[in-house]
Copies of this chain bind each other. A is one copy, B any other.
Amino acid sequence: MTAAPLPKTGAARYAGSRVQRVEDARLLTGAGTFVDDVTRPGMLHACFVRSPHPRARIVSIDNSAALALPGVHAVFTAGDLNGDVVEAWYTGTGNQVPDTPRPPLAVSEARFAGDIVALVVADSRYLAEDAAELVDVDYEPLPAVPDYARARTAEALVHDGYAGNLAGELAGAPAETIADAYDGAAHVVSETIWEQAQGAVPMETRGLVAEWSRGSGELTVWAATQAPHEVRMFAARLLGIPEHSVRVITRDVGGGFGQKVVPLREDICVLLAARRLAGAVKWIEDRRENLQSAGTARHEHGEARLAFDDAGTILAASLDHVQDVGAYPTPWPVMTGAATGMIFPGPYRVARGTFSHASVFSSTPGRIAYRGPWAFETLAREVTLDIAARRMAIDPAELRRRNLLRRDEMPYSSPTGMPYDHMDPLETLEQALAVLDYDAFRNEQAAARAQGRYLGVGISCYAEPTAPAFGVYATEGATIRIEPSGKVNVYLAGGSTGNSLETTAVQLAADALGADIADVHTIQGDTAVTPFGAGTGGSRSGSMIAGAVGVTAAELRDKLTKMAAHKLEASEADIELAQSRAAVKGDPEAGVSFAELADIAYFQPYALPPGTSPGLEASARYAATGMGLWACATHVCTCEVDVTTGKVTLLRYVVGEDCGHMINPAVVEGQIAGGVVQGIGGALLEELAYDADGNPVATTFMDYLLPTAAEVPVIEYAHVETAPGPGPGGYKGVGEGGAIGAPPAVVNAVADALAPFGVTITRLPLTPAAIASLIDASLIDQGREPETGGSQ
């Protein structure tokens, strides 16, 4: 499906076309402003003292040598700083204080290797690093809890008061209540699927500059964040000051992927230190810190149980899920963990299902959000589905075709109560298979196998609620000012971390107002300047911006129309707005420019139509409703596996996604591609590994392997635009899907390639060593050579 070309003239729509990114002018010329580009007069630099032990009692901390170093301004420990916290309030409404321990600096015990024990502030980062080495911490090492999967029975406790290291659990209906669905089934397939620990690994690490003004009692924070207003709310609560005394400024952010949704413990320490020192303090995380301490994601496993009838119809789908939340998870880990179970039945026609979930502490940093926070449900379901397909000897595409929901079945309620609507999962499968030419690949695969080459194809399907309407995510506001010159400024909360929110805003506002896109400018990421907004998360920004800009621009559009009708002595119904001009239909020459109308609105109020207020500015807010806008997709990829070395080469990768109308196909494809690449990394390469004692072993990019262009094929797309959807403009979220769909597609492709060996894959990542050992184990088990036929 090809997008419309960029409109040139007339009443053109920018939405739907590949408008060039407005961010690129600065970003591609190296002129972006990331937080490390911020310099403040007299700015100090922070460095953390981190525990080398996975678990240790902090017997004493001697700061004297560090403080004696000239240029060192402070060495803070928990005893100094932690008491300054007034209320650490994370997000949303009501009493949402953290539900798990979250001290700024470690109190009495270090709980993972990298835990922050002290904070040094000095004239330069170099000096701060030197001073940090002089801080003498007397540790008494204690037994750690390195493996969450064994934490429930470990003798050691990560936190006192949490018996069995259980942070929390939540479950749907008891398994017994749906036991009958399994008892009577023709086939029951049950597998425990394990996903390894991964990091969000943004190109720009975390960082902030916090500046406290003693005179005014005001705090300014330059933050690498996905949600400037949430940082403001958080900092105001943390320090016990009014929101308007905090200003958070964010210009360019080099990726967030969930790691920059809420302030983490280091951020808290720097905010507190800035007030203590009454000046500006900068902390920029280095890569080692990012990999060691910025949080982990995806470290979880679950037993997936699927029941089928003879025809392969899914009768029931259940998941018992356990996730590692580390030592200091971001608050409410149980909520996303439970969502994993609730969404487990996925975009399929499934009558019965339930789930259980447990969140377990370990001696690792702490679970954080990561693009597609409940992505594990897709991995567990889709991998198990392929295992089932092989066991039932049904082609995996055909098995999905028989069970996927269709557009005409909407609305549809999943057995766990998910209110699916306005999506077409089956159509995404059909279009993705068509782009790939699935049957042709099966032929190619058979031919290759005859030559001793192992090709495979993997499919995964998922559904996800995007732009969910709860708490801070429920609404989004915009202010639009048409300036006295007739140029348009669109004020939005922003929180772009590379996801083109400026381009999105400019496109949508130009369309909504009938302005030339070159006349539209957007200001985002400054809490003193923009309306409140919840930032980037939950694949919400595109849809929510469309809503906010839409309701706000509508007011101005009405006013421009009224003014133009008055000025041109025409009927309002005959006025068309396009290219920053208002003209009478059929007589574009007789129009009036937005600049002329703005001059009247600001400086000639006597020339306004009777009853019309002066100015050309509007502020309005859009409210989303319900659980979210359901997006869905099918990922299909093909690979070749070198069965000697275990190396996987991806050949083709097709995404068929139903994300509603596209605001900008280039941006949509960029979002999908970015997510897919992260998913491929998770499937094949990345692992935040720890040794048996709990020491991190992947703290550099030599050990934590990221996908590069060499590992990733060209991504192909088959967009399915279901319409009309309930969201503004028919847009759905697309930010997270790529990362959700990719891992099982890759796993299934590799498993398909290795089907002749009878291999069952249940653990990631699929490193060459892992694959080679799977093949070896399987051959040894079976005492045979691999087959050379098809995968079924």
A70 at the B interface (CB under 8 A)? no
Give how many copies assemble into the complex: 2
Residue of B nearest to A477 (CB): B615
Within 8 Å CB of A484, what residues of B?
233, 243, 472, 532
Pair B623/A26 contact, Cβ less than 8 Å: no
Give the most central of A30, A472, A551, A602: most B CB within 10 Å.
A602
- The distance in angstroms between the C-alpha atoms of A41 and B605, with both chains bound, is 43
A224-244 with Cβ < 8 A to chain B? 233, 236, 242-244
A561: shortest Cβ distance to chain B, in Å? 18
How many angstroms from the CA of A236 to the CA of B521 in the assembled complex?
15
How distant is A423 from chain B, measured CB to nearest CB, in Å? Answer: 23
Per-residue interface assignment for chain A, residues 202 to 243, with 1 indicating a CB less than 8 Å from any chain B CB and 0 otherwise: 000000000001111000000000000000010010000011
A25 to B215 CA separation, bound complex (whole angstroms)? 8
Interface centre among A551, A621, A622, A625 (most CB of B within 10 A): A621
Q: What residues of B have a CB within 8 angstroms of the CB of A471 in the complex? A: 603
For residue A243, give the distance in angstroms from its CB to the closest CB of chain B.
5
Asked whether, in the complex, the Cβ of A605 is within 8 Å of the Cβ of B623, the reply is: yes
Q: How far, in whole Å, are A469 and B608 apart by their CA atoms in the complex?
A: 14
Number of interface residues of A (CB under 8 A): 63
Do B479 and A617 have beta carbons less than 8 Å apart? yes
8 Å CB contact of A602 from B31, B475, B608, B624: B475
Known: A243-B483, A615-B531. A474 touches B215 (CB 8 A): no
Per-residue CB proximity of A621-636 to B under 8 Å, as 1/0? 1111100000000000
Which residues 488-526 of A have a CB within 8 angstroms of B? 489, 521, 523, 526
Question: Does A177 sit within 8 A of B, measured CB to CB?
Answer: no
Report Cα–Cα, A242/B522, bound state, in Å. Answer: 13
Residues of B within 8 A of A174 (CB): none
> Does A644 sit at the interface, judged by CB under 8 A?
no
**A244 with B93: CB separation less than 8 A:** no
Given contacts A215-B26, A521-B244, is CB(A481)–CB(B623) below 8 Å? no
Q: How far is the CB of A341 from chain B (nearest CB, A)?
A: 26
State how many angstroms separate the Cβ of A399 from the closest Cβ of chain B. Answer: 39
Whether A474 and B605, one on each chain, are in contact in the complex, defined by CB atoms closer than 8 angstroms, is yes
Q: When the two chains form their complex, are residues B617 and A605 in contact, meaning their CB atoms are under 8 A apart?
A: no
CA distance A601 to B532 in the complex (A): 11
Name the residue on B nearest A490 (C-beta).
B244
A477 neighbours in B (Cβ, 8 Å): 614-615, 617
- Contacts A243-B487, A620-B613, A621-B613 known; A529 to B529 CB distance under 8 Å? yes
The residue that A613 contacts in the complex, of B216, B551, B603, B624, with Cβ under 8 A, is B551
Q: Is A618 an interface residue (CB 8 A)?
A: yes
Decide: A213 and B606 in contact? CB cutoff 8 A: no
Contact call B531/A528, Cβ cutoff below 8 A? no
The answer to the question of A708 belonging to the interface, with a C-beta cut-off of 8 Å to chain B, is no
Chain A 239-251 interface mask (CB, 8 Å, partner B; 1/0) = 0001111000000
Chain B contacts of A481 at CB under 8 A?
531-532, 619
A209 to chain B, nearest CB (A): 12
Residues of B within 8 Å of A489, CB to CB, are 244
Shortest CB distance A38–B (Å): 9
A596 to B40, CA, bound (A): 38
Q: Is A604 an interface residue (CB 8 A)?
A: yes
On chain B, the residues within 8 Å of A613 by CB distance are 551, 620-621, 623
B622–A619 CB distance below 8 A: no
Bound together, the chains give a CA A344 to CA B205 distance in angstroms of 69
Is A790 interfacial (CB 8 A cutoff)? no
From B474, B526, B603, B617, A531 is in contact (CB under 8 Å) with B617
Contact indicator B606/A617 (Cβ below 8 Å): no
Interface of chain A residues 28 through 54 with chain B (CB within 8 A): 29-33, 39-41
Q: Does A599 contact B (CB under 8 A)?
A: yes
Q: A243-B487, A615-B531 are in contact. Are A30 and B474 (CB under 8 A)?
A: no
Q: Name A621's contact: one of B40, B245, B615 (CB within 8 Å).
A: B615
Among B32, B531, B614, point to the contact of A622 (Cβ < 8 A): B614
Known pairs A242-B521, A487-B243; A614 contacts B604 (CB<8 A): no
A7: interface (CB < 8 Å):
no
User: What are 10 inter-chain pairs, A to B, with CB distance below 8 A?
Assistant: A31-B214, A33-B215, A33-B216, A39-B41, A92-B603, A236-B485, A242-B485, A474-B605, A477-B614, A615-B619
18 extra interface residue pairs, beta carbon distance < 8 Å, beyond A25-B216, A244-B489: A26-B216, A31-B216, A233-B484, A236-B485, A242-B485, A474-B602, A477-B617, A481-B531, A481-B532, A484-B532, A531-B615, A531-B617, A532-B602, A551-B613, A601-B621, A606-B623, A615-B621, A619-B619
